[in-house]
Protein backbone atom coordinates (compact mmCIF):
# COMPACT_ATOMS: atom_id res chain seq x y z
CA UNK A 1 0.00 0.00 0.00
CA UNK A 2 1.48 3.32 -1.00
CA UNK A 3 1.24 6.61 0.94
CA UNK A 4 -2.05 7.79 -0.64
CA UNK A 5 -3.67 4.45 0.11
CA UNK A 6 -2.58 4.62 3.75
CA UNK A 7 -3.70 8.24 4.02
CA UNK A 8 -7.19 7.50 2.63
CA UNK A 9 -7.51 4.49 4.97
CA UNK A 10 -6.59 6.54 8.05
CA UNK A 11 -8.58 9.63 7.05
CA UNK A 12 -11.65 7.75 5.88
CA UNK A 13 -14.55 10.24 5.78
CA UNK A 14 -16.94 8.29 3.56
CA UNK A 15 -20.46 7.67 4.87
CA UNK A 16 -20.89 4.02 5.85
CA UNK A 17 -23.75 1.94 7.18
CA UNK A 18 -23.49 -1.61 8.51
CA UNK A 19 -26.64 -3.57 9.31
CA UNK A 20 -26.35 -6.67 11.46
CA UNK A 21 -29.32 -8.37 13.14
CA UNK A 22 -31.06 -5.72 15.23
CA UNK A 23 -28.24 -3.13 15.01
CA UNK A 24 -27.35 -0.42 12.52
CA UNK A 25 -23.93 1.17 12.79
CA UNK A 26 -23.51 4.47 10.93
CA UNK A 27 -20.12 6.14 10.45
CA UNK A 28 -19.16 9.54 9.09
CA UNK A 29 -22.60 11.10 9.23
CA UNK A 30 -23.27 14.83 9.22
CA UNK A 31 -25.95 15.13 11.94
CA UNK A 32 -28.94 13.40 13.48
CA UNK A 33 -31.97 15.28 12.16
CA UNK A 34 -34.66 13.48 14.17
CA UNK A 35 -34.86 10.74 16.75
CA UNK A 36 -37.71 9.05 18.59
CA UNK A 37 -38.76 5.47 19.43
CA UNK A 38 -40.15 4.90 15.91
CA UNK A 39 -38.04 6.98 13.53
CA UNK A 40 -34.45 8.14 13.14
CA UNK A 41 -33.29 10.54 10.44
CA UNK A 42 -29.56 10.79 9.81
CA UNK A 43 -28.12 13.46 7.49
CA UNK A 44 -25.01 12.67 5.46
CA UNK A 45 -23.04 14.02 2.51
CA UNK A 46 -22.82 12.17 -0.81
CA UNK A 47 -21.20 13.77 -3.85
CA UNK A 48 -21.29 17.20 -2.16
CA UNK A 49 -25.05 17.00 -1.53
CA UNK A 50 -26.82 16.56 1.78
CA UNK A 51 -28.89 13.36 1.86
CA UNK A 52 -31.08 11.62 4.43
CA UNK A 53 -31.14 8.11 5.82
CA UNK A 54 -34.54 7.37 7.36
CA UNK A 55 -34.92 4.40 9.68
CA UNK A 56 -38.45 3.37 10.68
CA UNK A 57 -39.02 0.82 13.39
CA UNK A 58 -40.07 0.09 16.94
CA UNK A 59 -38.23 0.57 20.26
CA UNK A 60 -35.33 2.36 18.55
CA UNK A 61 -32.51 3.43 20.86
CA UNK A 62 -29.07 4.95 20.41
CA UNK A 63 -26.73 2.57 22.21
CA UNK A 64 -23.49 4.27 21.13
CA UNK A 65 -22.95 7.88 20.13
CA UNK A 66 -19.61 9.35 19.07
CA UNK A 67 -18.68 12.40 17.04
CA UNK A 68 -18.59 10.49 13.75
CA UNK A 69 -20.39 7.25 14.63
CA UNK A 70 -23.76 6.13 15.98
CA UNK A 71 -25.15 2.68 16.79
CA UNK A 72 -28.92 2.25 16.69
CA UNK A 73 -30.69 -0.81 18.06
CA UNK A 74 -34.30 -1.92 17.88
CA UNK A 75 -36.81 -3.57 15.57
CA UNK A 76 -36.37 -2.18 12.05
CA UNK A 77 -39.28 -2.00 9.61
CA UNK A 78 -37.56 -0.21 6.73
CA UNK A 79 -34.57 1.93 5.79
CA UNK A 80 -34.82 4.66 3.16
CA UNK A 81 -32.09 6.61 1.39
CA UNK A 82 -33.25 10.02 0.11
CA 70, chain centre distance (Å): 6
35-69 burial by CB neighbour count: b if 16+ within 10 A, else e?
Answer: beeeebbbebeeeeeeeebebebeebeeeeeeeee
Q: pTM value?
A: 0.81
- SS3 assignment, position 29: coil
Instruction: Answer yes or no: is pLDDT of 40 > 70.
Output: yes
Domain boundaries of the chain, sorted by first residue: 15-81
Q: Please report which confidence band the pLDDT of residue 32 belongs to, taking 50, 70 and 90 as the band edges.
A: very high
- What is 15-81's CATH number? 2.60.40.2000
pLDDT, tens digit (0-9, with 9 covering 90-100), for 64-75: 999 899 999 999
CB 37 within 8 A of CB 7: no
Which has more confidence, 2 or 13?
Answer: 13
Amino acid sequence: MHFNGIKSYILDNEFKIVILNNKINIANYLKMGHFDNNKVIIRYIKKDKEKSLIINGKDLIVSKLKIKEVLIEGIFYNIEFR
